[in-house]
Homo-oligomer: A and B are copies of this chain.
Amino acid sequence: MAFEHPIRIYWEDTDAGGIVFYANYLKFFERARTEWLRALGIGQQALREQSGGMFVVADAHLKYHHPARLDDELIVTARLQSSGRAALTLAQQAWLQHAPKRQLLCEAAIRIGWVDAVSMKPARIPPAILEKFDS
């Protein structure tokens, strides 16, 4: 079961090809990821102030299947694929919210690593975060 987050397409998201600019799916995936973390009780700004660390994207692999257009409604998902001591890999998808069935627009595997916010060096993910994923 994946977390789902709705996203509407605005002018700012499109390009002169008449479709959503492909780099913006990374933004959509991050919004869904952030809301998923928030739903698990993980606030990123608060975390950074408390722990001195933050997640950064270490690797992103995106596949584009179909374009989205102005005014479209997307459902963007986030699901934990694998986890380690210092990094998590998420499987994320963007779907066009369509009758009679959804159409897959873009999918990604995104690895996020935990780093010290000042030195940017990799560090162990705080146990309090990892516990949230287990429950």
A64: which B residues are within 8 A, CB to CB? 56-60
Copies in the complex: 4
Contact check: which of B27, B67, B70 meets A12 at CB < 8 Å? Answer: B27
A101 within 8 A of B: no
Contacting pair B34 A10 (CB below 8 A) = yes
Contact check: which of B45, B59, B66 meets A62 at CB < 8 Å? Answer: B59
Instruction: For the complex, count residues of A whose C-beta is within 8 A of B.
Output: 42
Residue of B whose beta carbon sits closest to that of A29 = B23
Taking Cβ atoms with an 8 Å cutoff, the residues of A that contact B are 8, 10-12, 14-19, 21-24, 26-27, 30-31, 34-35, 38, 43-46, 54, 56-64, 66-67, 69-71, 117, 120
